[in-house]
């Protein structure tokens, strides 16, 4: 398998996205511009935690790893500060059937960590999970799918629990979104100069260019690819005993599960991964 060059990566690719959100003030500015475009509103001061780990409520329960955990602060009229929680997840893996329950699980764990013991439930922060996908999760050709809880019998009933899930399809053609968001999604999937069409994208593109010119980042990218290549080679060797295709499929699946937060041998084994493959995948960073 040939290695893609760093200069060919797009914002939707996990490595480049993590480099963007991990760059201090630049990472905060990137997330702010992205959120303002997605949400269609001004975002105040924000705090970004890349690759935030949230463990299960018990040590034996499944945890998650969030690509970009963002707390956005907004001043209130009484001068106190309210905030909303955003989880931004670019995801190339096609998993239409799993997405609804995956995002439900993510939101549940996020909420469980937001409310201290004895707090009033009314103080629970609003949380928004944003999935950026290069495919249509619901096959309706839309760019944006916003999911909220509602009363089935009477949709006019006001029911606001503060939980929102947004699925963004970079290839959608139904224009149910702003021109700015359409342009942003096009750039996220294909991050080239030709797709720079407004000030927000221009600022993000400058960050992308700086990352791609950074020699230290090039070394990190090469190392990350070498690790994945080593895992693939070990899977091929194991495949001679298990059947090459089966060994490869299991190891590649284990890699994807690890990226999704299955970060222990026990958790991977619960998903049908052998102890040998689980141990190897977790050992190679």
Q: What is the DSSP string of 86-152?
A: EEEEE--S--TTTHHHHHHHHHHHHHHHHS-TT--GGGPPPEEEEEEESS-SSSS-BSEEEEE---S
Q: Do 125 and 52 reside in the same domain of the chain?
A: yes
Are 173 and 257 in the same domain? no
Closest by CA position to 208, among listed 4, 3, 19, 14? 19
> Cα-flanking dihedrals φ and ψ of residue 81, to 5°?
-120, 125
pLDDT band at 78 (very low <50, low <70, confident <90, very high): very low
Would you state the pLDDT for residue 182?
93
Token pair recorded at residue 205: 């593109």
Question: Do 192 and 238 belong to one domain?
Answer: no
The two beta strands, 81-90 and 64-75, are antiparallel
Mark whether 56 and 76 lie in a shared domain: yes
- Residues of the domain holding 187: 6-213
Q: What is the per-residue pLDDT for 53?
A: 66
Which of these three, 213, 235, 266, is where a domain ends? 213
pLDDT, residue 140, reads 92
Residue 100: inside a domain, yes or no? yes
Computed over every residue of the chain, the mean pLDDT equals: 82
pLDDT of residue 80: 46
Please say if the pLDDT value at position 167 is more than 90. yes
Looking at the structure, do residues 269 and 174 belong to the same domain, yes or no? Answer: no
- How is 32-76 classified by DSSP, letter by letter? HHHHHHHHTS---SEEEEEEEEE--SSTTS--EEEEEEEEEEEE-
What pLDDT, on a 0 to 100 scale, did the predictor assign at position 63? 63
pLDDT tens by residue, 15-69: 899 999 999 999 999 999 999 999 999 888 889 988 776 655 554 555 666 778 8
18 vs 260, more confident: 18
**Res. 222: pLDDT tops 60:** yes
The CA distance from 55 to 86, in Å, is: 18
- Residue 50: both structure tokens together: 């890349």
Residue carrying the six token digits 């490869």: 248
Q: Taking Cα atoms as reference points, which of 13, 132, 128 lies closest to residue 69?
A: 128
Last-in-domain residue among 188, 213, 238: 213
For the residues 213-229, what does the mean pLDDT come to?
81
**pLDDT band for position 239 (cuts 50, 70, 90):** low
In a domain, 14, yes or no: yes
179 and 222 fall within a common domain: no
Return the bridge partners of 166, or none.
Answer: 130, 146
Q: Which among 55-64, 116-125, 162-171 has the top mean pLDDT?
A: 162-171
Inter-residue contact 198 to 183 (CB < 8 Å): yes
Residue 223 has pLDDT above 50, yes or no: yes
Are 229 and 209 part of one and the same domain?
A: no
Measure the CA angle with vertex 267, ends 266 and 271; round to 5°. Answer: 110
Mean pLDDT of 208-227: 86
Count: domains in the chain:
2
Shared domain for 149 and 225, answered yes or no, is no
């Amino acid at each position: 398998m040939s290695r893609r060059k760093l200069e060919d990566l797009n914002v939707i690719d996990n490595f480049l996205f993590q480099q963007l959100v991990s760059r201090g003030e630049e990472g905060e500015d990137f997330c702010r511009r992205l959120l303002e475009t997605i949400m269609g509103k001004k975002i105040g001061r924000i705090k970004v935690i890349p690759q935030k780990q949230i463990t299960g409520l018990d040590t034996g329960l499944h945890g998650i790893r969030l690509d970009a955990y963002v707390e956005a602060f907004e001043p209130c009229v009484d001068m106190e500060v309210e905030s909303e929680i955003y989880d931004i997840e670019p995801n190339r893996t096609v998993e239409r059937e799993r997405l609804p329950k995956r995002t439900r699980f993510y939101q549940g764990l996020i909420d469980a960590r937001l409310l201290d013991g004895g707090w009033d439930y009314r103080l629970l922060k609003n949380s928004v999970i944003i999935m950026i996908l290069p495919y249509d999760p619901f096959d309706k050709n839309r760019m944006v799918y916003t999911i909220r809880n509602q009363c089935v019998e009477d949709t006019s009933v006001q029911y606001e629990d503060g939980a929102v899930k947004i699925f963004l399809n970079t290839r959608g053609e139904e224009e149910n979104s702003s021109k700015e968001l359409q342009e942003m999604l096009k750039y996220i999937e294909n991050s080239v100069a030709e797709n720079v069409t407004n000030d927000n994208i221009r600022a993000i593109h400058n960050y992308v260019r700086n990352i791609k010119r950074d020699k230290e980042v090039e070394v990190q990218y090469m190392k990350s690819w070498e690790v994945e290549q080593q895992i693939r080679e070990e899977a091929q060797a194991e495949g001679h005993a298990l059947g090459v295709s089966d060994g490869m499929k299991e190891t590649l699946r284990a890699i994807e599960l690890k990226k999704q937060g299955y970060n222990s041998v026990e958790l991977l084994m619960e998903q049908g991964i052998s102890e040998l493959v689980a141990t190897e995948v977790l050992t190679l960073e």
